[in-house]
Amino acid sequence: MGSENRGGMGAGPAPDIKGLTTSMRLTRSVTSLALAASSALAMAAFGMSALAQEAAPAPEAAAPAAPSGMSEAVVAIVNDDIISSFDLGQRMRLLMVTSGVQPTKENIPQLQREALRSLVDERLQLQELRKVEKEQKIEIIATPADIDEEIAEIAKGNNMTGPQLVASLAAQGIGPETLRAQLRSEISWQRWIQGRYGSRLRVGADQVKAQQERLEQAAAKPQYQIGEILVDAARVGGMQQAQEGAAQLVQQLQKGAPFPAVARQFSASPTAASGGDAGWISSGEMPPEVDAVLEQLRPGQLSQPIPVKDGVYIIYLREKRTGAAATLISLKQAAVPLPGDAPESAVEAARAKLESLRPKVTGCDNIETAAAGVEGVLAGDLGEAEVQDLAPAFREAAEGLQPGQLSAPIRTPAGLHLIAVCGKRQSGAQIPSATQIENRLFGQQLSMISKRYLRDLRNSATIETR
């Protein structure tokens, strides 16, 4: 008795064919699947010690038969559902095509573990969904029409029709039901998780604010735009297996396997669903072992495997930038022009005009409109500048204001001014908006729920592998 564990790796150059993936799409704005397919690959054996061979594309879109000399055998039983050697071989072929990984003697065991793990997970998901459908008398499992629609969307992203996509996979030895079975499970499980838990999750304003503040503080540190693959030691059978698996993946990536496709299929990181794209990170966000490597990498470089406490990372450094402590501030103003030697009475009259204007101004949105109603007051956009570059009087006022706040009248040689702070940010930083942060946190929570749900199904299931 036993259960296979799923390895984790991945990220890199963009694949040729987009659309196929086993990764969950758990965000508020559900995007289309993304897959990459490489050259035609076929395998002639499924055993742990078997060698992989390239096969010529099949002339017609028929499902491939089991390899010659091998009879179809049972490789796993999930509760009462059987996974055959044919199922496993087909999934391994699909995995290779969608990740761009070339089969070798060394990586066949890794491909087999990943393929078997995904098949076991899908059986557990569909068993659970059928039970829910029966108990609650609802329809959850994707219909043939749902799957046809998804295939059409995937094909459209590759400038193909659905039948052309199916024929292309069939030419590489992958039967249509292999793709349909994968999509059936993915669509159905996503529908169930999002429907059951999506409306219950709440991302609080305090969570969003805390994340924004953390990102703003990190903006002064060196920053790295990375792709990541995490091979989880617990999932692949230990640290030695994780290191060996990561080394094989690095070899495949160096040979041209697309980083995003490899990450989607092999990485244990939450970023696997986005092709391993971790975006911009700052020093201290990754384990110390990874930070040390990032300092040495140049943009465009791929790291060697990086052992950490619970697994092994592979990092692709897309871009790098030094941190900047300078604060950029965008301002608007309402002003009464006055020469530097204007009499005090003129200054006080200008001050009275601006003070009468202040209660009408709610921020940058209406300062110009409000100023237009007061004779002698001019308003305009001052644009964005570093705080340190502002005139001393403006700088002193701006440093003490938050976005949306308005200053008291400020005297300069050019006149009397009210300034409104429209925004502040750290130079060089690309901090996501509040909505983007909220959606990201929402997706992370939903993804975690899905993983825990599936883990519980695994723990309570009877899974026999042979």
CB 9 within 8 A of CB 314: yes
Q: Per the domain annotation, does 386 fall within a domain?
A: yes
235 and 306 inside one domain: yes
| Judgement on whether residues 363 and 310 belong to the same structural domain of the protein | no
Residue 405: C-alpha distances to residues 53, 205, 359, 388 (Å): 68, 20, 12, 19
pLDDT digits (tens, 9 = 90+) for 339-377: 989 999 999 999 999 999 999 998 899 999 999 989 999
Query: Same structural domain for residues 314 and 384?
Result: no
pLDDT at 46 over 80: no
Same domain for 305 and 379? no
What's the confidence (pLDDT) of residue 347? Answer: 94
**What's the mean per-residue pLDDT of the chain?**
81
Q: Are residues 320 and 331 in the same domain?
A: no
Judged by average pLDDT, the poorest of 176-190, 274-288, 321-335 is 321-335
Distance CA 424, CA 398 (A): 10
pLDDT category at 142 given cuts 50, 70, 90 is: very high
Same domain, 303 and 245: yes
* Residues near 232 by beta carbon (within 8 Å), at least 6 away in sequence: 5, 6, 7, 8, 242, 268, 310, 311
- One domain for residues 213 and 314: yes
Give me the domain span that covers residue 297: 205-324
**Any domain includes 238:** yes
List C-alpha distances in Å: 188 to 141, 192, 271, 450: 5, 6, 21, 12
Q: Would the pLDDT of 13 be above 90?
A: no
Q: Is residue 314 part of a domain?
A: yes
Which residue, 324, 343, 358, sits at the end of a domain?
324
Structural domain includes residue 229: yes
Do 335 and 308 lie in one domain? The reply is: no
Total of domains in the chain: 2
Q: Are residues 415 and 340 in the same domain?
A: yes
Q: Is residue 29 part of a domain?
A: no
Read off the CATH number of the domain in which 267 is found.
3.10.50.40
Highest-scoring range by mean pLDDT, 191-195, 202-206, 283-287, 446-450 = 191-195
Q: Does residue 315 lie in a domain region? A: yes
- In this structure, is residue 331 part of a structural domain? yes
E-strand ranges in 272-409 read 277-282, 306-307, 311-321, 327-337, 378-386
Q: Within 10 Å of residue 400's Cβ, how many Cβ atoms?
A: 10
Q: What percent of the chain has pLDDT over 70?
A: 82
Say if residue 363 is in the same domain as residue 392.
yes
Q: What is the mean pLDDT of residues 209-224?
A: 78
Q: Output the pLDDT for position 47.
A: 27
**Structural domain ending residue among the three candidates 270, 298, 324:** 324
Kindly list the distances between the CA atom of residue 324 and the CA atoms of 21, 219, 327, in Å, as whole numbers in the listed order: 38, 7, 8
In a domain, 250, yes or no: yes
Q: Which of these three, 299, 324, 349, is where a domain ends?
A: 324
Do 364 and 350 sit in the same domain of this protein? yes
C-alpha 456: how far from chain center: 25
The secondary structure of 39-55 as a DSSP string is S----S--STTPPP---
Q: Is the pTM of this model over 0.85?
A: no
Task: Map tokens 């003697």 to a residue.
Answer: 105
| pLDDT of 6 | 34
What does DSSP assign to residue 302? B
Residue 306 and residue 360 in one domain: no
Contacts of 181 (CB under 8 A, 6+ apart): 122
Comparison of pLDDT for 59 and 195, the residue scoring more: 195
**Residue pLDDT, tens place only, 69-111:** 345 799 999 999 999 999 999 999 999 988 888 888 888 988 8
Each residue's pLDDT tens digit, 219-277 = 667 888 999 999 988 878 789 989 999 999 999 999 999 999 899 889 988 888 788 99
Q: Tell me: pLDDT of 66 over 50.
A: no
Q: Which of 17-31, 32-46, 233-247 has the highest mean pLDDT?
A: 233-247
Q: Is the pLDDT of residue 309 over 70?
A: yes
**What value does the mean pLDDT take over residues 434-457?**
86
